[in-house]
């Protein structure tokens, strides 16, 4: 299915899949760490993860190039999904799952329409070692550790090719504000269709390439422009979900067919090059029996030397 989505997009916009032969150089790097402990202070469900991006292209002129495959992004990710209580296995709660992902994406723009198209290999289960990583980290921090029972009942090993397509357009709301509605299709590790928007107040994103974190929907900077001061972001989206490796059919809990996210954040950059971002995202219920949503925090700090 992921091949069909990517092929349909390429055909619909009349793009060639042959990448530009011009020599590429590294244009930027970005990352975002998400954790519910820096959100609602709890350790459950979409409990933590990190996503990072390295971008190469022939040049950066303030917008993505028009050609498919000219600008390439190597995307790496890791995530831990956990039940509400990581010490005790309880009926009716979601199973533990760890995942690692690596993918190649391309960003391009035709007229006012911005495209991000890519594919990831998502590895799930004990093979990722994420349960051992969390156990060691929590032991070091002297906080609750995932029990052997919870780890033994985690989602099994799987490798899921996953395609992701996002299409958006940016509109000015004034001298310093923009809104960007977007739609997203994802097929593979999780299969869903999503629609939403992002509002930015300030210079964040002007002449930059922003990449969306898959869990929170927060966008982080990769190819960056020079500015100082503060920028504020707000956004929301809703998804129709048909499948999730984290909540498999036939498991103890049933997948909800809709999923909501609401997010806000602040980015600052000092005149000496220190930048930081902190955001909060409300994630709605993902499975039947989940009694409430959760709030996940996102953070990035960068010091330029």
Q: What pLDDT score does 54 carry?
A: 98
Q: What pLDDT score does 76 carry?
A: 98
Question: Model pTM greater than 0.85?
Answer: yes
Give per-residue pLDDT as tens, 174-215: 888 999 999 999 999 999 999 999 999 998 888 899 999 999
Q: Are strands 258-269 and 229-244 parallel, antiparallel or unpaired?
A: antiparallel
Backbone angles phi, psi at 93, to 5 degrees: -110, 160
Backbone angles phi, psi at 190, to 5 degrees: -135, 140
pLDDT of residue 305: 57
Per the rule left: phi > 0, alpha: psi between -120 and 50, beta: everything else, 271 is alpha
Beta carbons within 10 angstroms of residue 130's beta carbon? 25
pLDDT-wise least confident of 57-61, 89-93, 300-304 = 300-304
The reported pLDDT for the residue numbered 8 is 38
Mean pLDDT of the 273-280 span: 91
Q: Is 105 exposed, middle or buried, given 0-12, 13-18 or 19+ CB atoms closer than 10 A?
A: buried
* Model pLDDT, residue 25: 93
Whole-number pLDDT of residue 125 = 97
Q: What is the pLDDT of residues 160-172, one digit of tens each?
A: 999 999 999 999 9
Closest CA to 139 of 86, 95, 89: 86
Choosing among 2.40.50.100, 2.40.128.140, 3.30.450.70, 1.10.3720.10, the CATH entry for 2-15+27-303 is 2.40.128.140
pLDDT of residue 71: 97
Q: Are 200 and 210 in contact (CB under 8 A)?
A: no
Q: What's the count of helices (H) and strands (E) in the chain, helices before strands? A: 3, 15
């Amino acid at each position: 299915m992921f091949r069909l989505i990517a092929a349909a997009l390429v055909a619909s916009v009349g793009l060639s899949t042959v990448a530009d032969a011009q020599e590429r150089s590294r244009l930027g790097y970005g990352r975002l760490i998400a954790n519910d402990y820096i959100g609602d202070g709890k350790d459950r469900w979409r409990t933590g993860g990190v996503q990072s991006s390295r971008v190469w292209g022939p040049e950066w002129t303030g917008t993505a190039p028009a050609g498919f495959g000219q600008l390439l992004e190597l995307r790496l990710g890791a995530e831990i999904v956990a039940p509400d209580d990581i010490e005790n296995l309880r009926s009716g709660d979601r199973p533990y799952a760890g995942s690692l992902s690596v993918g190649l994406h391309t960003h391009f723009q035709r007229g006012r329409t911005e495209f991000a198209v890519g594919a990831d290999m998502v590895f799930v289960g004990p093979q990722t070692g994420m349960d051992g990583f969390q156990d060691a980290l929590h032991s070091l921090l002297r906080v609750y550790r995932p029990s052997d029972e919870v780890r033994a009942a985690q989602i099994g090993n799987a490798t899921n090719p996953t395609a992701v397509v996002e299409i958006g357009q940016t509109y000015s709301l004034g001298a310093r504000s923009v809104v960007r509605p977007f739609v997203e299709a994802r097929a593979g590790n999780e299969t869903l269709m999503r629609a939403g928007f992002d509002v930015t107040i300030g210079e964040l994103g002007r002449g930059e390439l922003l990449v969306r974190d898959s869990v929170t929907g927060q966008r982080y900077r990769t190819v960056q422009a020079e500015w100082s001061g503060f920028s504020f972001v707000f956004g929301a989206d809703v998804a129709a979900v048909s499948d999730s490796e984290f909540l498999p059919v036939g498991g103890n809990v049933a997948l909800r067919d809709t999923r909501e996210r609401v997010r806000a954040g602040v980015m600052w950059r000092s005149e000496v090059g220190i930048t930081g971002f902190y955001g909060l995202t409300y994630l709605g219920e993902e499975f039947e029996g989940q009694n409430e949503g959760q709030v996940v925090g996102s953070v990035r700090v960068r010091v330029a030397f």
